[in-house]
Structure 1
Amino acid sequence: MSDIKDCGASPFIDGFALKAVTLSNGITLRVAIGGEGPPLLMLHGHPQNHLAWRKIAPQLAQKYQVILPDLRGYGDSDKPASDERHLAYSKRAMAEDISQLIDALGLSRVAFVGHDRGARVGHRLALDHPEKVACGTFVDIAPTATMYAQTDKAFATRYFWWFFLIQPYPLPETMIGHDPAFFLRKHIDGQLKTAGATSEAVFNDYLRCYQQPEMIHAVCEDYRAAATVDLEHDAEDSDKRIVCPLQLLWGEKGTVGQLYDVVETWQEKAINVQGKALPCGHSPQEEVPAVFLAQLQGFLDSVL
């Protein structure tokens, strides 16, 4: 049985209420919810939490019921213990959380938007629970298996954390834990290409969560899973395709946009794909929110 508890108004996103939603699997997710209308569920990436959507969520809430969870392991959501196969942080387990969240909120299908790790969870959600995804927007990613398979010096240099965070416990946990603020600042500053996109207040909230040893470990487990069990699941489902309409948005100044033909990387993963580069780095919803919002609303209007 699921359970929903009110946690007050969001201090960062006007008109949104914070909820603690305990799922039938026992995981509790922190979720910000605002607006009325067709449900729109948006998942953040690493190293952020649901505040990554703060610049566009109020506008979207004028037309949609906007649902902003913190992924398991991130923000104020539960950070469960893991295992040697990293199954607790597989994208299948994280997508199951979102499927159960949809049920707990009394919904049947949602429009989905995912950035970074959230989009990787969305990929698995669309494969494992296609009946619950009306359409998808994936932000600044190529498929995990593709990115690992095509690894070269340029990618390994730019996305070094894909190889650092997967090292065995406790190496990355210990090194990040020594100075989480330094690691977080360098990571965000390196990924985002628009000065001032992350305010100090928002950075401090990201840091509030990121400096918790439990979150540092969960982040590492997320990436360890991506390099192991997630690849196994992808290989097992190599014949499956995302059946809902899929929009891809990416930053033309970022690593993904510069190293990959993003639309082409998804054409073997989905049936109906479209995409566009935006004038920013890794986080368009924070860097160029008006541009991102216009592109997202246009897509939603065309498919819903």
Structure 2
Amino acid sequence: MTQRIAGFDYQRVTVADEVALNVAVGGNGSPIVLLHGFPQTHLMWRHVAADLAADHTVICPDLRGYGASDKPADTDGQTYAKRTMGADIVALARAFGHDRFALTGHDRGALVAIRTALDHPDTVTHLAALDVLPTLDMWEVMHGTTAAIGFHLYLMAQPPGLPEQLISASADTFFGHFLDIWTRDPRAIPADIRATYLAASRNAVASIVADYRASAHIDVEHDRIDRAAGTVLRMPVSVLQQDWGAALGFDARSLWRAWAPDLHHETVTCGHFMAEESPAEVTKALRDLLNRQ
């Protein structure tokens, strides 16, 4: 049985040439778009989305390359650039009649959300990022033996061929590894949802690798250009994050402040999959963000 967010309508929306996204939409009111992370689909928002739909229009797509959305081949190194994926999200919101919207992302979705907000500051009214650093900072803080926690980042940054072959050979083990080690409360991802995530990822190895590969190359270049130009996130920004700094030796709040002058940064005690482990905490943070001017 196909898993869905209860009470939400499902559509396929064309956002670019030969790219359509699978989208769940529910509620009424000011719009907020929720972008999922790795190795998940839009279903990671099932609790938060249902709550927010009481007074917001909530739009939950599968990112290009993930879930039931289209997975174009990466022919030029830009197909899965966060700039390209962000343009998908702007086109998606406009397809529903929204020229301005709040945007929230977790993990990979947060990287898409950050780039969307940098590229479209007059379109994104509020930004929330869950458990990431901006791409350039992420690469700069990882070094030495502590960088082993990000081994998958280095694996998927390699040229096409080897990463796809290795991961495809043991896809469920590879993707399941992250669902296991990044979750403090295993009950947060029940067996049926876990099976959905694994099936979706198993069928998207090439596009998932392309997404990660872009973050080691073109996404870094886009961030460097913005940093040199002094470009910042002009909207209210909220960040929920585990205390990575304790392990990796950096001050996450300071790194974020350089990008987001209007910042609320909060350290959480749950695992990485916070929208599933602590949905009430995430929902409250998003409501607080939406109330900021």
1:257 CA drift (Å): 6.8
Q: Deviations over 1:250-304 (max 9, x none)?
A: 134xx4674342221111112211111111121211111122222222222234x
2:239 is aligned, of 244, 248, 267, to 248
Mapped to 2, the partners of 1:278 and 1:296 lie a distance apart of 14
Mapped to 1, the partners of 2:281 and 2:219 lie a distance apart of 32
**Aligned with 2:28: secondary structure?**
coil
Q: Does 1:102 align with 2:93?
A: yes
**Aligned with 1:114: secondary structure?**
strand
Counterpart of 1:261, as a letter, is D
Q: Does 1:221 align with 2:210?
A: yes
Please say if residues 236 and 263 of structure 2, whose CA atoms lie closer than 8 Å, have aligned partners that are also in contact. yes
Mapped to 2, the partners of 1:89 and 1:155 lie a distance apart of 27
Q: Deviations over 1:143-174 (max 9, x none)?
A: 11112122213442111101011122211111
Q: Does 1:37 align with 2:29?
A: yes
**Aligned with 2:88: secondary structure?**
helix
Please say if residues 83 and 116 of structure 2, whose CA atoms lie closer than 8 Å, have aligned partners that are also in contact. yes
Please say if residues 155 and 163 of structure 2, whose CA atoms lie closer than 8 Å, have aligned partners that are also in contact. yes
Partner of 2:220: 231
Partner of 1:62: 54
- Residues 245 and 232 of structure 1: CA distance in aligned 2, closer, same or farther (over 3 Å): same
Q: Does 1:182 align with 2:173?
A: yes
Alignment TM-score, normalising by the size of structure 2: 0.94
Q: Does 1:271 align with 2:245?
A: no
**Aligned with 2:158: secondary structure?**
coil
Q: Deviations over 1:12-38 (max 9, x none)?
A: 311111110012433100000000010
Counterpart of 2:275, as a letter, is Q
Mapped to 2, the partners of 1:258 and 1:197 lie a distance apart of 24
- Residues 221 and 198 of structure 1: CA distance in aligned 2, closer, same or farther (over 3 Å): same
Segment of structure 1 superposing worse, 92-101 or 162-171: 162-171
Partner of 1:302: 292
Mapped to 1, the partners of 2:65 and 2:16 lie a distance apart of 17
Segment of structure 1 superposing worse, 136-145 or 192-201: 192-201
Please say if residues 136 and 245 of structure 1, whose CA atoms lie closer than 8 Å, have aligned partners that are also in contact. yes
Segment of structure 1 superposing worse, 137-146 or 20-29: 20-29
Partner of 1:7: none
Q: Deviations over 1:15-66 (max 9, x none)?
A: 1111100124331000000000100100011111100101211111001000
**Aligned with 2:272: secondary structure?**
coil
Mapped to 1, the partners of 2:83 and 2:95 lie a distance apart of 18
Please say if residues 236 and 289 of structure 2, whose CA atoms lie closer than 8 Å, have aligned partners that are also in contact. no
Please say if residues 279 and 288 of structure 1, whose CA atoms lie closer than 8 Å, have aligned partners that are also in contact. no
Counterpart of 2:259, as a letter, is K
Identity level (%): 36
Mapped to 2, the partners of 1:11 and 1:188 lie a distance apart of 18
Counterpart of 1:279, as a letter, is T
Mapped to 2, the partners of 1:200 and 1:55 lie a distance apart of 16
Please say if residues 8 and 25 of structure 2, whose CA atoms lie closer than 8 Å, have aligned partners that are also in contact. yes
Partner of 2:276: 286
1:210 CA drift (Å): 1.1
Counterpart of 1:63, as a letter, is D
Mapped to 2, the partners of 1:163 and 1:132 lie a distance apart of 33
Counterpart of 1:100, as a letter, is A
Q: Deviations over 1:189-226 (max 9, x none)?
A: 111222211111101111121111xx101111111111
Mapped to 1, the partners of 2:25 and 2:150 lie a distance apart of 32
Please say if residues 146 and 247 of structure 2, whose CA atoms lie closer than 8 Å, have aligned partners that are also in contact. no
Mapped to 2, the partners of 1:150 and 1:225 lie a distance apart of 18
Partner of 2:129: 138
- Residues 235 and 270 of structure 1: CA distance in aligned 2, closer, same or farther (over 3 Å): same
Counterpart of 1:221, as a letter, is A
For structure 2, which runs of at least 5 residues remain unmatched after alignment?
none
For structure 1, which runs of at least 5 residues remain unmatched after alignment?
1-9
Please say if residues 111 and 135 of structure 2, whose CA atoms lie closer than 8 Å, have aligned partners that are also in contact. yes
**Aligned with 1:290: secondary structure?**
helix
**Aligned with 2:34: secondary structure?**
strand
**Aligned with 2:264: secondary structure?**
strand
Please say if residues 240 and 267 of structure 2, whose CA atoms lie closer than 8 Å, have aligned partners that are also in contact. yes
